[in-house]
Structure 1
Amino acid sequence: MQILEKIGDGLSSVINKCIINHKQYALKSFKECSRKLREREIKILNSLKHENIISILEFDQDYNWYTTALMKTDLHQLIITHGPLQSITIQQILLQLSNAILYMHSIDYVHRDIKLENIMLNSEAKMYIIDFGLSVCLHTSKQYPRHCGTATYMAPELNLEDKIINSNSLKKTDVFALGVVIFILAYGYPPFTVTIQSKCRFWNTIIQQKWQQFWNYFDKLIKAPTHPDFKDLIQNMLEPDPNKRFTIEQVNKHPFITNQSNLEELIDKLNI
């Protein structure tokens, strides 16, 4: 294996391009991370078989690294470079991602860190969810650490003071994070910085169910998606009360999602 330039760097791992048998791949190497956590991530990824979830190609016996297919970019970099996307493109992205999360939830896996940076694209605009370092299988326990994920994408129940959350509440946190992802794809900005009432006025607006005020602000920043069902879907995915929030099954059946494939906009942007 020949290790090439660094293409990603996180708290617990670094990603490099590498060459194996004259072909380029992505190499994820763990930093100072316990063997238990390294092994858990690799075993979870090896348990998940879905076309929109990254697959491990090779890993070492001590779980220090693994390789995957090399992607073109991630959604975060795509939005930074090209700005907000059209509704029809967002519909297709959401279809791929909701199918992947629906699959995960159906076999009781929760990602716990859905965000733009953890969604990769290949040159044909196919989505791949990556980075399962915080993921859990709900069969292994009934309680999990509450405060987990990336602040902008964390559901409000993850910011409560008690440190433990029940397993039956975790799936809805993936739905919330996916709602933030879809909002950013449409507007180019996150809907709030954090879901703590005293720290973010935009989250206060949602808590108070003042959705029209919320939408008026963002619609002044950028032309909103024209699809009539977009805002209804976002409001149900970002619902503060997890008992009222959509499940991933409801997201997957929402009229905003279409099965008609139209990814020309993304493919054009990826090949500029």
Structure 2
Amino acid sequence: MSINNILKGMGYKFISSLGEGSFSQVKLATSQKHHCNVAIKIVDRVKAPEDFVQKFLPREMAILRRVNHVHIVQMHELIEVAGKRLCIVMEAAAKDLLQKIHEVNCIPEDQSKTLFSQMVSAVNYLHQMDIVHRDLKCENILLTAEEQVKITDFGFARCIQDSSELSHTFCGSAAYTPPEVIMGTPYDPKKYDVWSLGVILYIMVTGKMPFDDTNVRRLYRLQRKPLVFPDDAGVEEPCRVFIRTLLQFSPSTRPTIQQVAEHPWLQMG
């Protein structure tokens, strides 16, 4: 029996495709059980790499079961299909942050502050639980129809034992990756998340990437230089200072997520 028929028999009806990868796909569906639209991520265990199936997927499932925050996507249920496929039924969203930026070019500073505060609230919650995301990027920031943030995709997330524990795995997208990870040195995964948030905020208020990531070696050199804003970017100086604080080259001088949450720029207005 096809996966479509199995899910249909459980009260799910596919509406459209939301995305597809080499071993997974995400579909929008209606749900009789949950009385709303849902996103169903279908993971093909056979096609997926062994380290993903044995290491990253179990971590993601364990974390999704633990977390409960208004700005983190909620998992409704897991459905195993013949031991070959795993269907993750989650909250549906209207669009992702990158789609919104493409629609409007850049997001006004006041609105950016509101959305960014919601992201910080969610990441602060995760870090307090000693969970790190390690793949924060515009595509993984979902927006509901009411434009409420929902952080998604915990495929590279992990739990850490204590705040001094370093990570060694290179993960995430180079454009959002801090210099210490680019260089392949052991890194503080919480400071990784803070850097990624800085990149996201820069993109939100300028509509552009802060660094050219087409060449990873050159990317590291660009990250070392003072951060430059586009000439036509109408970004106020307090916001620029805040972004530069998030994108501190040295992780030792980069703020913690709690310090980010308490930063004056987020308290203004």
User: Do both proteins adopt the same fold according to a TM-score greater than 0.5, normalized to the shorter chain?
Assistant: yes
Deviation at 1:83, TM superposition (A): 1.0
Query: What is the TM-score when the length of structure 2 is the normalising length?
Result: 0.83
The amino acid that maps onto 1:39 is P
Deviation at 1:206, TM superposition (A): 4.9
- Given the superposition, is the C-alpha separation of residues 196 and 254 from structure 1 closer, same or farther in structure 2, using an over 3 Å criterion? farther
Partner of 1:26: 39
| Structure 2 segments unaligned to the other structure (5+ residues) | 1-11
Equivalence map 1:235-246=2 (5 Å): 235-246=244-255
C-alpha contact (below 8 Å) 1:159/1:195 kept by paired residues: no
C-alpha contact (below 8 Å) 1:8/1:14 kept by paired residues: yes
- Given the superposition, is the C-alpha separation of residues 144 and 119 from structure 1 closer, same or farther in structure 2, using an over 3 Å criterion? same
Partner of 2:182: 159
Query: Do residues 253 (structure 1) and 266 (structure 2) align?
Result: no
DSSP 3-state at the match of 1:41:
helix
Deviation at 1:107, TM superposition (A): 1.0
Partner of 1:127: 149
The amino acid that maps onto 2:189 is L
Query: Do residues 185 (structure 1) and 165 (structure 2) align?
Result: no
- Given the superposition, is the C-alpha separation of residues 229 and 36 from structure 1 closer, same or farther in structure 2, using an over 3 Å criterion? same
Equivalence map 1:25-174=2 (5 Å): 25-31=38-44, 32-33=47-48, 34=53, 36-61=55-80, 64-139=86-161, 142-162=165-185, 165=186, 169-174=188-193
How much identity, in percent, do the aligned residues show? 27
C-alpha contact (below 8 Å) 1:6/1:16 kept by paired residues: yes
Paired with 2:157 and 2:68, the residues of 1 have a C-alpha distance of 15
Q: Count the aligned residue pairs.
A: 246
Deviation at 1:145, TM superposition (A): 3.1
DSSP 3-state at the match of 1:60:
strand
C-alpha contact (below 8 Å) 1:72/1:123 kept by paired residues: yes
Partner of 2:233: 223
The amino acid that maps onto 1:91 is K
- Given the superposition, is the C-alpha separation of residues 206 and 143 from structure 1 closer, same or farther in structure 2, using an over 3 Å criterion? closer
Query: What is the TM-score when the length of structure 1 is the normalising length?
Result: 0.83
The amino acid that maps onto 1:172 is K
Paired with 1:232 and 1:196, the residues of 2 have a C-alpha distance of 27
Q: CA RMSD in A?
A: 2.4
Higher RCO (CA < 8 A, seq sep 6+):
1
Partner of 1:207: 224
| Structure 1 segments unaligned to the other structure (5+ residues) | 261-272
After superposition, what is the alpha-carbon deviation per residue over 1:170-216, rounded to whole angstroms, capped at 9, x for unaligned? 1000000000000000111110023988414xx645524x34xx23x
Paired with 1:142 and 1:253, the residues of 2 have a C-alpha distance of 24
DSSP 3-state at the match of 2:29:
strand
Deviation at 1:35, TM superposition (A): 5.2
The amino acid that maps onto 1:190 is M
C-alpha contact (below 8 Å) 2:178/2:195 kept by paired residues: yes
